[in-house]
Amino acid sequence: MSQAPTMPASPPTVEAPEAKSPPTLRDGAQVTLDKAVAALLDLQHADGHWCAELEGDSILQSEYVLMKWIMGNENDPRLPAIVDQLRSQQRPDGGWGQYPGGELGGGKFDLSATVKAYLCLKLHGDDPEADHMRKARELVLAHGGAERVNSFSKFYLAALGQVSWKANPSIPPEIVYLPKWFYFHLDKVSAWSRTMITPLSIVTTYRPVRDIPKDKGIDEMYVSQRDRHRLIGGVDGHEQHPFWSRFFLVADKFLKVIDKFGMTPWRKRALQRIEDWIVKHTEDSDGPGAIFPPIVYLLIALQCRGYKGDHPLMKAHEQYLVDYMIDAQDENGDTRTRLQPCFSPVWDTGIAAYALAEAGLPKDHPAIRKCVHWLLEKECRFAGDWQNNIDHNRFPNLEPAGWFFEYRNKFYPDVDDTVMVAMALKRLGEPGSAAHEAAERGVRWVFAMQNPDHGWAAFDRDACDRPIMEYIPFADHNAIQDPSCADITGRTLECLGHMGFNVSHPAVQRAIEFNINKQEPEGPWFGRWGVNYIYGTWQAVCGLRLVGQDMDAEWVQRAGQWLKSVQRTDGSFGESADSYEDRSLMGQGPPTASQTAWGAMAMLAIFGPEDPDVQRAIRWLIDTQLSQDDDETGDKAGSWREDWFTGTGFPKVFYLRYHLYRLYFPIMAIGRWLNAK
């Protein structure tokens, strides 16, 4: 009898593993934030501050080289590496631009930059018939010739005998004697213009010419030999006025006639007074204004006044320029040297500190303690040029306070740095602490700096709203004034919100009204100090909630809808500086971490943390964070790669790449979003 088959034994019971939920956006954001904070802390200097490279364009290299030739120092061993850097910045079309990049925002061709670069290369032996030189020359000739460069380039050309000094605008040193009620006055121009105009008034008076061999010159770059040797209107990038532009050209001819027949009886005293002003403005400062152009002009001007190269003032200012230099190896192992326009330590440290506060770093963290101490040591307690325009009836006995941008620049603290640092100190200090007291001093100073139009500018009060000045021939850098702008006004409101002020305060009310009037029809704001409408919109709206503004107001919502309209499908934001030239490019350009962070923070302020577009922007920052070091750019794991220029010096003229923007702004955005959650 057959036996029934035996059934196999049942397998042992195994419990299924508990299913793991995918990481939430919040979890991913926290991990990203932790990595980014670690990367930022790793970049902190031992004394507590941050200072990353501040990258500019080719004119920093070319103007340094030309200065050395003008002063007879063309054998400086640093020059070949600087010229190599300049050569590497030439674009495929043969020209030099205002900032590097590709097809989505590479910066327009810059006539003045190209002429200066071409002259530098020719001085250093490049064959004018070489392909790269021929292409540059053809491009310049197609754009009207070297006679159409701006006045700040013609000064170099005249000092090297390439144009007549008659082609340069007169800057008579007697301007120091103009009364305060006069339309033009040194107190009524921007701080950076003030520090450039004063040494250039000496240079245009002495009219130095360094003879160079004819074959080193650029005769071949001119279309009109007549225009080459006379002052003309319509130079590169300078807007013309049908009356005032012509008026100033006629006035310049009159000034040149006065010079020809013996100048004025006040010339000698005026030159000495200008020299004294320049020397005074170097005290406890890394040069007048602590920025590249005035330092270069100062060296040439003081040489005109008889200062020798071994004079302590000359040696110090030459060293400031050397300190701006950064050496790097190219693909062949050769050294290239690039120059920065200045240092940005207070700016970098203030923003980094504020970002770390948003990230939740505790006040007693060693990095925070060192950072706060460093910022307190940089408080500016000196009454600089700004005091000349303060309404002393409304603000009697105003206590000097505030912060400047660079390491040392005591004459020029600025509103933007002051409110940035004050916000950080308010967040990171204890009530009644030195940090809070300094922040409160800074805010009292900022109130006194509010312009008559109720906005805030950078360095001065009431150095704006004089449009006729824009047509002066030496104003062709498009920044002779320091206007109120929506971005600084918005950041100031953000600071005031942290300090406990709200919409009931008259100054806050007036500032909000100023920004409402500055809003573009489409909804955004122009960005004076960052690229461009994304930056301006971020700054304009982020303080509104803190001061109690109704975020459902139509004008605020319109700004938010504009941001959503320019957000890319992957959640990112990007805008090239080309939008300064063409409004149709508002909010358009390659995506960047800094601009995505700005867009995210602005939308967060308007729509809140649950808004899907806010979350898409945060997701993009999470997904694009570097997981390992980037050997090509030097960026560290935890940061982001950002090749584009998102900072602004002079709109339409000069742009900047702050190398820490791609790190501390994403930290600020992600930290702020997590806090809002």
| Tokens standing for residue 670 | 């992600």
Q: Which of 484, 576, 499 is nearest to 530 (CA)?
A: 576
The closest alpha carbon to 193, from 488, 479, 528, 485, belongs to: 479
CA distances from 636 to 31, 214, 313 (A): 16, 49, 39
Annotated catalytic residue within 57, 84, 236, 416: 416
Report whether 480 contacts 465 (CB < 8 A): no
Please give the Cα distance from 451 to 576 (Å, whole number): 30
Half-sphere exposure of 357 (CA within 13 A, CB side): 20
Report the SS3 class of residue 385. helix
Catalytic residue status for 126: no
SS3 content of the chain, % helix, strand, coil (to 5): 50, 5, 45
**Closest to 488 measured CA to CA, from 526, 448, 440, 439:** 526
C-alpha to C-alpha distance for 588 and 590, rounded to whole angstroms: 7
Residue type for 321, please? L
- Considering only CA atoms, which of 617, 494, 612 is closest in space to residue 545? 494
Question: Count of CB atoms within 10 A of residue 253's CB?
Answer: 13
Q: Pick from 209, 62, 58: which is nearest to 121 by CA?
A: 62
Identify residue 576 by its one-letter amino acid code: S
CA–CA dist 159, 169 (Å, integer) = 14
Instruction: Give the list of residues 6+ apart from residue 581 with CB closer than 8 angstroms, or none.
Output: 108, 652
Tell me the C-alpha to C-alpha distance, in Å, between residue 300 and each of 304, 308, 368, 474: 6, 11, 43, 18
Q: Please, are residues 597 and 125 in contact by the beta-carbon 8 Å criterion?
A: no
Q: Would you state the structure tokens that stand for residue 352, as one six-digit string?
A: 């980094």
Main-chain phi, psi angles of 81, to 5 degrees: -70, -30
Of 166, 113, 107, 106, give the one whose Cα is nearest residue 143.
113
Tell me the chain's radius of gyration from C-alpha atoms: 28
Sign of CA dihedral 126, 129, 132, 134: positive
Residues 362/368, Cβ–Cβ less than 8 Å: yes
* Nearest-5° Cα angle at 109, 103 to 115: 145
Could you tell me if 647 and 530 are in contact, meaning their C-beta atoms sit under 8 angstroms apart? yes
In the structure encoding, which two tokens stand for residue 182, read together?
Answer: 């006069």
Contacts of 583 (CB under 8 A, 6+ apart): none
Distance CA 400, CA 284 (A): 16
Task: Give the residue numbers marked as catalytic.
Answer: 416
